[in-house]
């Protein structure tokens, strides 16, 4: 019954913003470290943003630094990716991932399409 469901993707013009959501089910959300990945056509899947500690510290890829922010709401079992000043090169399928703080157990969502085009 474990699942991660991404939502909020779609078509947006360059310079616009989107907020992706990742709602989770079937595991103890607070025990897992959340991250976001993306995969563009013909490219390898890459890490975009992640939590690096249970205190709430985060980091993002250089390509999205200053534009993307990862956050989470434990009361809603949901992670978010706020994306501002979107560029055409941000076009990709975006995936959320949950990794246990204390083991190698991890889960992937099925992804949501983000297309940045005028």
State residue 82's pLDDT score: 98
Query: Which three-class secondary structure state does DSSP give residue 111?
Result: coil
54 has pLDDT over 90? no
State residue 39's pLDDT score: 98
How many angstroms separate the Cα of 44 from the Cα of each of 8, 39, 40, 53, 93?
22, 6, 7, 26, 11
Do 46 and 37 touch, CB atoms closer than 8 A? yes
Interval 92-108: pLDDT, tens: 999 999 999 888 899 99
Interval 34-46: pLDDT, tens: 999 999 999 999 9
Interval 61-81: pLDDT, tens: 999 999 999 999 999 999 999
Interval 3-36: pLDDT, tens: 999 999 999 999 999 999 999 999 999 999 999 9
């Amino acid at each position: 019954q474990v699942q991660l469901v991404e939502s909020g993707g779609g078509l947006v013009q360059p310079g616009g913003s989107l907020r992706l959501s990742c709602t989770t089910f079937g595991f103890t959300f607070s025990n897992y470290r959340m991250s976001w990945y993306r995969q563009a056509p013909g490219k390898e899947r890459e890490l975009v943003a992640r939590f690096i500690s249970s205190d709430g510290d985060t980091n993002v890829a250089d390509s999205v630094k200053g534009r993307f922010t990862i956050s989470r709401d434990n009361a809603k079992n949901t992670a978010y990716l706020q994306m501002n000043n979107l560029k055409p090169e941000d076009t990709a399928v975006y995936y959320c991932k949950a990794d246990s703080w204390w083991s190698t157990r991890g889960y992937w969502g099925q992804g949501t399409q983000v297309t940045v085009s005028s």
